[in-house]
Chains A and B, each alone.
Chain A
Amino acid sequence: MNKLILIFCLTFFPIIYSIPILGDSYYDSPESYVSNIAQETLTALNFPEEEIDKKVEIISKIFLSNLAIKEISLFVLGPYRRNLKEEQRKEYFELLKNFISEIYSVRLASYPSGTFKILNTSDSGRSGIIVKTLIEFLDDPNPTKIDWRLIKKKNGEYKIFDIRVVGVWMAQEQRSTFTSFLSKNNGNIDNLIDRIKSQLKEKS
């Protein structure tokens, strides 16, 4: 009997113990991961127009926990990534986390709610997995295509690296603006940090 209890404990303890460790981003397929985020976002979009701040706040939370912040933060710096000094990293990542989630949520919050369906998924290897979805908005006869570029982290978790809304990849667009700004500021990351800070201040 003791042996049985021991086998039971050895078998199930690691499983039970691992459950809290598995976060929101653990899904068996990229489609189910995207479905979950899209559904949560569309639910948030159901809020009435007067509660736009609440909408933005909820969508911001959804994206804060699902964006590959570190990877996006480095990607948007383009060739100036090497100018990011060790002592700037913490502040830069923290700022970018707020800045990117703010941008994604403000832009997405302007859409009405609707229904969505997954069109197809393609694995582009190292550059990520692209899940193509189609959103049919409630008061718009023209559906909108939204593509999600996901990356799979080493721990098996999916994260969003980029989103394409109406034909525009958002991280790609940020990369263009960041590199444009840095090229005019001799690649000085401190100037970029100040600019992002003032941008966030303006918004709040």
Chain B
Amino acid sequence: MKKITYIFLLLLSTTIYSYANSEIIDPYEKSNRVIHNFNDKIDVLILRPVSVGYSILPNPLEEGISNLLQNISEPINFTNFVFQGEIEKAFKSISRFLINSTIGLIGLIDVAEKINLEKNNTDFGFTLKSWGIGEGPYLVVPFFGPRSTRHLTGSIIDMVTNPLNYVLKDEDSVIRISPSLLYAVSARSGNMETIDNLRVTSIDYYASLKSIYIQNRFSEEINEENDDMIDDFFQSLDEENINE
């Protein structure tokens, strides 16, 4: 436990004085690229083949597993929405969990969505953001892929505080990590063509994944910054008389 607290504080300290917007600095690019290549090999050799097998499952079964994984994450969503002061979303998350865990057969069926309790995902990384903690440097984590330092700190906290860990604490280690493995396989299977195409069409796969991570993680800030950047771009084209 002491070790985890130490890692948490160390990671947190690197995020406090960093940028608050979506601009993520990449001071460890060299080592990040090495880990990226390692993760890519793991993907090609293990994750992708397993995900191809997983995608053969009938659609309703795949959907059931995806619903189940979503249901497992609802207690984490609930706690984080409370910490963020998003009480309505917190209420929705816990209602979804209670309804889907009972009527929805431990979460296999998303009954809650049918009664307009739509899913909203969050994590401790966003909670830290709501407390004004900066993003911190960009990292590529073995097996987990791209993470900002704040996001990684949040992931560790979520992992430690996940109630599922306490439910499964006496189980075999394979069973304990099975939700995470299943999540990885399900996510890879759901993005099969996107990732495969990206690998072959990108002139810099590392930079592509980084851009996709940033765009997904900071969609709100990115939209505003994008508009400003494109605005400036067209302004400069006008000035140079290039625009037609």
User: Which chain A residues numbered 158 to 189 have a C-beta less than 8 Å away from chain B?
Assistant: 161, 166-169, 172-173, 175-181
State the interface size on chain A (CB cutoff 8 A): 42
B207 lies within 8 A of A177 (CB): yes
Q: How far is the CA of A57 from the CA of B193 in the complex (A)?
A: 18
A180 lies within 8 A of B207 (CB): yes
B227 lies within 8 A of A70 (CB): no
Query: Counting CB contacts under 8 A, is A71 at the interface?
Result: yes
Which of B198, B203, B204, B226 is within 8 Å of A172, CB to CB? B226
Q: How far is the CB of B209 from chain A (nearest CB, A)?
A: 9
Query: Counting CB contacts under 8 A, is A116 at the interface?
Result: no
Closest partner residue, chain A, to B196 (CB atom): A110
Which of B194, B201, B204, B219 is within 8 Å of A181, CB to CB? B204
Which of A5-13, A16-24, A38-46, A121-129 faces chain B? A121-129
Given known A-B contacts A71-B237, A153-B244, A169-B226, A176 and B203 have beta carbons under 8 A apart: no
Given known A-B contacts A168-B212, A178-B203, A106 and B197 have beta carbons under 8 A apart: yes
5 more CB-based (< 8 A) A-B contacts, given A110-B193, A155-B244, A178-B203? A75-B233, A107-B198, A124-B231, A126-B234, A167-B215
User: Which chain B residues numbered 8 to 35 have a C-beta less than 8 Å away from chain A?
Assistant: none
Which of A151, A169, A199 is within 8 Å of B215, CB to CB? A169
- Residues of chain B lying within 8 A (CB to CB) of residue A199: 201, 203
Q: How far is the CA of A199 from the CA of B216 in the complex (A)?
A: 26
Q: How far is the CB of B27 from chain A (nearest CB, A)?
A: 14
Q: Which residues of B contact A (CB under 8 A)?
A: 59, 63, 191, 193-194, 197-198, 200-204, 206-208, 210-212, 215-216, 219, 222, 226-228, 230-231, 233-235, 237, 242-244
The DSSP consensus for interface residues of chain A is: helix
Which of A103, A141, A161, A166 is within 8 Å of B194, CB to CB? A166
Given known A-B contacts A71-B237, A168-B212, A173-B212, A102 and B201 have beta carbons under 8 A apart: yes
- Residues of chain B lying within 8 A (CB to CB) of residue A192: 203
A127 lies within 8 A of B234 (CB): yes
- Residues of chain A lying within 8 A (CB to CB) of residue B243: 71, 154
Query: Counting CB contacts under 8 A, is A90 at the interface?
Result: no
Q: How far is the CA of A60 from the CA of B63 in the complex (A)?
A: 32
Q: How far is the CA of A134 from the CA of B37 in the complex (A)?
A: 35
Q: How far is the CB of A93 from chain B (nearest CB, A)?
A: 12
